[in-house]
Amino acid sequence: MHKKLNPFLYLTSNRHMRVGRILRFKLAIFYLTFATLPTFAHIELVTVPKSQAVQLTIYNSADITMVKESRELTFKRGRNKIQFSWAGTLIDPTSLRLTFLTHKNDLTLSDTSFPPGRTDAQPDGSQRLQWNIESTFSGSARVEINYFTSGITWNADYTIITGGSEKSMSVDGFVRVNNNSGEDYPNAQVRLVVGTVNLVENIAELAQGSWRYKDLNQDERETVRREFEGRMRKAERKPAMPATTTEAVAGEDAEEKDGDKPKDVIKEGLSEYFLFTVEGKESIPNGWQKRLRAFSAREVPVKVVYRASDRTTAGQVHKFYEFRNTKEKGQDAKTSLGVSPLPDGSVHIFREDSQGNLSYQGGVTMKYVATGDKVKLDTGVTSEVVLRTFTRNYKRYSFVTDTRYDKSHYVKSWVEEYFYENELENTLGRSVHVEIERTFPGDFEPGKMDFKYEKIDSATIKFFPIAEAREKKKISYSIKIEHKE
């Protein structure tokens, strides 16, 4: 929003700050009271203080953010007017609410009006409202303004660093808040909704689950607002789960401040979603990003599996990292997984050698992981383990003939046998486990197979060889396919 000073507004504090950076809400208070003359007299305005608290509850799935802001205002006995403008923002004006937190019995909201027209003094006159408040006392009181806005989103990303043996790893989780709402939010408490909040299923069906709050009509917005507020109140009543460490980085080029006290992310859970609350206050300027650390887990057990599949990896070997989102026995909840679900996000994986050097293993996208679930991260084709497949031989035999009604002869059945060889090369200095999945044409029966395997379906088998350090091993086998006329 662009700040325009009301001619009746006198700003007495923070003179060194630009008015447009203090607050975009443009709250202008002025007072009218009866004097000895038979007309109203304008009362000189006192300071409009900056907000004491701002709370943002961000729900990505529907691009909706619930904003609560409290201010300490000074009232005069009689009629007071508060002006609110949302020009240049994505604030939903139909959601604006004003409530009194103190002196509830002394203050009355008489009405809400929308001044018409545009003037030179108020070029955004069509995008503002005015609350008319009657006060029975003179003094200060705390009020709360809450509303819904769009344009504030967040996304998650993770950094994984494994040791040289890749048996354990550290996992750092981050959330990145993006503010494109048109409004600055200084010193705000940030809450993030993780998971699916089923807000009014019939509305979600309008766009097959991809609806957005800003696209709904007024009645639908009102329904969503009521349900969203109700669910957040329900989450707030839940006992908070153990907190984890967080840090704040303003924008991409900002640096951490030495000596900053570590913060906490409080995770409050319901069955279908979690509500993350970042400890302390964060400034979320319009057009900026804020990166917050959600957790820092250490010594997480991990299993590295090399997989090759005719169906999913085109026969090439992919490297997988597998672990569970669970809390290990004896681990501190602040440095452990399993405290809450893991939201969708990008994952970057590194391996650290004995000299502390990092090598990049790959970047992948991770889907939402519930508490206790297993995570399988496919980093793509690897050169650490190479699989080559050859067809070494092919035979037809066991022919059975028969005679047709016209006494002609034909082959009633026969068997085809394919002889394969897999050459498995391990370039690493340690042994590795490999999963090989082969798919064959038609129904088959195993031929020569001198190893354990699983028959996945009528056309697929899976086997699990171990390749020793620097080993190049050959795995031979055959499959039989019976044909019948």
Classify 17 as helix, strand or coil: coil
Give percent of the chain above pLDDT 90. Answer: 39
pLDDT for residue 301 is more than 80 = yes
pLDDT at 273: 73
pTM of the entire predicted model: 0.70
pLDDT for residue 97 is more than 50 = yes
Q: Which helix (H) or strand (E) holds 99?
A: strand 97-100
Which structure tokens are listed for 257? Answer: 């401040």
pLDDT at 249: 33
* Residue whose token pair is 């031989």: 393
Which residues on adjacent β-strands are paired with residue 97? 146
pLDDT at 469: 94
pLDDT tens-digit profile of 101-131?
A: 999 999 999 988 877 654 444 444 467 888 8
pLDDT at 422: 94
For residue 6, what pLDDT band results from cuts at 50, 70 and 90? very low
Which structure tokens are listed for 277? Answer: 């609350």
For residue 26, what pLDDT band results from cuts at 50, 70 and 90? very low
Closest residue by Cα to residue 250 from 188, 342, 295: 188
pLDDT for residue 42 is more than 80 = no
pLDDT for residue 99 is more than 70 = yes
Q: Which helix (H) or strand (E) holds 250?
A: strand 248-250
- Cβ within 8 Å of residue 97, ≥6 positions away: 145, 146, 147
E-strand stretches of 310-444: 317-324, 345-352, 358-366, 374-381, 385-403, 409-426, 432-439
Question: 276 and 340 in contact (C-beta within 8 Å)?
Answer: yes
For residue 360, what pLDDT band results from cuts at 50, 70 and 90? very high
pLDDT at 354: 83
For residue 255, what pLDDT band results from cuts at 50, 70 and 90? very low
